[in-house]
Amino acid sequence: MLSVQGLRKSFGPFLAVSDANLTVAKGEVVAVIGPNGAGKTTLFKLITGQLKPDRGQVMFKGEDIAGLSPHRICRRGLSLSYQVVSVFPRMSVFENVRVAVLARKRQVLRLFTPAVRLANEETWEILSNVGLADKAEVISGTLSHGDSKVLEMAIALGNRPELLIMDEPTAGMSPEETRAAKALIQRLNGELGITILFCEHDMELVFNLAQRIMVMRQGETIAQGTCDEVRCDEKVQQAYLGG
């Protein structure tokens, strides 16, 4: 579904991503790990079009999307859920998700039209899928951090993604919220068939959720493989896991 080859991005003289390589097959859950500053967020921004690569290829469903604008990439079925919560804080939970649903359908909000009725139904479905239906009327800016991150995922689901990219989905969550988020990610993958690519510092979560792992260090992919392959990789042990 996704194949990244030789991706590079510099900010002035600083090379943030020097050589990123990654493959994600349909239906997989893949994690990107690496120390702070390794280039994980930059890689995700390059894949989703928020940054333009200096060189390299990003193939999504057989098409090179490197350098396309974020909305064009989004329309192809690739969504990003941000590390830092980026919802409309004064809108309700329901309205935040409905905006995403309407945007996908290229509809504006005209009350009482069939299109809005369908968007409302779909919004309820997403909210119940992620467990936020009982908070639909809550003003988003007043949600707990954990619920805001789940809302962030719900907004990404409004795009009906085939591939959902999540930048540290459980960052700042309590252990209980983390468990719920883990179950949610498994459900999105298992029941809704959404392919998932995420980066995360919580190694327990990574080894629990991911079928394959890609390891970055200083902008470069140093290993890629199953959890066991990566665990046993000498370069990874030296560079990252401290083994």
Q: Does 13 bind ligand ADP (CB under 6 A)?
A: no
Pick from 24, 33, 38, 188: which binds ligand ADP (CB under 6 A)?
A: 38
Q: How far, CA to CA in Å, does 64 sit from each of 3, 4, 85, 210?
A: 9, 9, 29, 25
- CB 131 within 8 Å of CB 181: no
Q: Is 74 exposed, middle or buried (0-12, 13-18, 19+ CB in 10 A)?
A: buried
Q: Does 40 bind ligand ADP (CB under 6 A)?
A: yes
State how far the Cα of 120 lies from the Cα of 131, in Å rounded to an integer: 16
The torsion of the CA quartet 123, 128, 132, 133, rounded to 10 degrees, works out to 70
Residue among 102 and 210 whose Cβ is closer to ligand ADP: 210
- Which of positions 125-154 make contact with ligand ADP (CB under 6 A)? none
Residue among 32 and 99 whose Cβ is closer to ligand ADP: 32
Which span (39-47, 63-71, 114-122, 187-195) binds ligand ADP, by CB under 6 A? Answer: 39-47
Q: Does 11 bind ligand ADP (CB under 6 A)?
A: yes
Residue among 93 and 230 whose Cβ is closer to ligand ADP: 230
Which span (32-40, 102-110, 137-145, 206-214) binds ligand ADP, by CB under 6 A? Answer: 32-40
Q: How far, CA to CA in Å, does 98 sit from each of 102, 123, 204?
A: 6, 6, 34
Tokens for 143, please give them. Answer: 């949600």
* Residue located via tokens 């809005």: 116
Residue among 39 and 56 whose Cβ is closer to ligand ADP: 39
Q: Does 41 bind ligand ADP (CB under 6 A)?
A: yes
Residue among 16 and 93 whose Cβ is closer to ligand ADP: 16
Q: Hey, what amino acid is at 191?
A: E
State how far the Cα of 88 lies from the Cα of 183, in Å rounded to an integer: 26
Where do contacts with ligand ADP occur on this chain (CB under 6 A)? Answer: 11, 14, 16, 34, 36-42
